[in-house]
Structure 1
Amino acid sequence: MTDAARPRFAEALVAPSATPDYPGRMRRFGQLVGTWAAKGHRLNEETGEWVERDFTWLVEFILEGRAVQDVEIVPSETHPSGYETVATALRVYDPYAGLWRVSYVAPTMGEYCHLVATPYRNGLRQDGTRTDGRPIRWNFTSITPDGYTWEGWMSADDGATWVMVEHNEATRLR
């Protein structure tokens, strides 16, 4: 892609707002559109230790407002932009099934996850599988206009029991 085509690509992908076709449904993930400063802890499954992590989470409407995409970035001294893109998730509302389909990609970690999202208590629940086939459950809880809590759970016994493997809390910057 030429440098001249890059702005057109971004312009064609990013949407200014949600589609008006199903505003209530789009609000579920649409409430997260913005920029977030996140702090979290992730379980290192090999060592059993919790690793702290800080990142910026960028969330936008895309595809004529019919989907939401997020990008996780971290500061980088070696990348020319000053940051490294760690992961992205695409959340698309499926009006035929009445649910959200989620695909998460983190190439440097070898993670390619697919989930289905539904409303859950005062947040959102996403159920699916990790790259290795183990069930995962990702919950957004305590969502407010200025913050949210997110928990990642994993099961090694087909969902009989669940272990928390990640916990993030974020504050809205924009």
Structure 2
Amino acid sequence: MTSLPTRFDEALIAHGPTPEYPGRMRRFGQMVGSWAAKGSRLDETTGEWIDRDFVWMVEFILDGRAVQDVEVIASATHPSGFETVATTVRVYDPFAGAWRVSYFAPTLGEYCQLVATPYRHGVRQEGTRTDGRPIRWNFTAITPDSFNWEGWVSADEGATWQLVARTEATRIR
């Protein structure tokens, strides 16, 4: 009998995409690695844009059937010197032919569910925010060394959209 892993990371992180549908795994698999990210978010209460720098790390998980990312920021108050502020799990659903996306950002109180499909030369993720408003998250201008990400929200069930977040990322690993 083969011994089972005893470390969480050994059981979770995969070394590549599943061989069952490697082409489909490329959609988010192309972003596996670490990225220096410069972003800004709109404070919808004040209308002010708030800049932030972070590292966006992406890995295959669950035997290569999913991709997970984490957003990490520097923190002078955390003992490790950094804080993991958000994570997204993207699982390919072969029955639906789409990606199921779950985003968690406990410090922001955001928990979003989306479905991702191809969009132009990138990926569009559509779903709802914690407050119930429709959202669109777009990965665009994806190259081996960079990508852009935009977050949009609608206050009128998708008739109009407002840009509320944007990020430019450059590969560091």
TM-score range for the pair, normalised by the shorter chain length: over 0.9
Could you give the per-residue CA deviations for residues 106-129 of structure 1, whole angstroms, max 9, x where no partner exists? 001000000000000000000000
Give, as a single letter, the amino acid of the residue that structure 2 aligns with 1:163: Q
> What residue in structure 1 maps to residue 11 of structure 2?
12
> What residue in structure 2 maps to residue 156 of structure 1?
155
Give, as a single letter, the amino acid of the residue that structure 1 aligns with 2:21: Y
> What residue in structure 1 maps to residue 145 of structure 2?
146
Q: Show structure 1 runs of 5+ residues with no match.
A: 1-5
Secondary structure of 1:137's counterpart equals: strand
> What residue in structure 2 maps to residue 42 of structure 1?
41
CA RMSD of aligned residues (A): 1.0
> What residue in structure 2 maps to residue 58 of structure 1?
57
> What residue in structure 2 maps to residue 21 of structure 1?
20
> What residue in structure 1 maps to residue 109 of structure 2?
110
Give, as a single letter, the amino acid of the residue that structure 1 aligns with 2:138: N
> What residue in structure 1 maps to residue 165 of structure 2?
166
Quickly say closer, same or farther: Cα 1:44–1:7, change in 2 above 3 A. Answer: farther
> What residue in structure 1 maps to residue 118 of structure 2?
119
> For 1:48-87, what aligned pairs fall within 5 Å after superposition?
48-87=47-86
Could you give the per-residue CA deviations for residues 99-146 of structure 1, whole angstroms, max 9, x where no partner exists? 000000000100000000000000000000000000000000000000
TM-score, normalised with respect to structure 2? 0.96
Q: Show structure 2 runs of 5+ residues with no match.
A: none
**C-alpha deviation, 1:77, in angstroms:** 1.2
**C-alpha deviation, 1:172, in angstroms:** 0.2
4+ residue runs of structure 1 moved beyond 2 angstroms? none
Q: Distance in 2 between matches of 1:138 and 1:130?
A: 11
> What residue in structure 2 maps to residue 3 of structure 1?
none
Q: Distance in 2 between matches of 1:47 and 1:146?
A: 34
**C-alpha deviation, 1:78, in angstroms:** 1.5
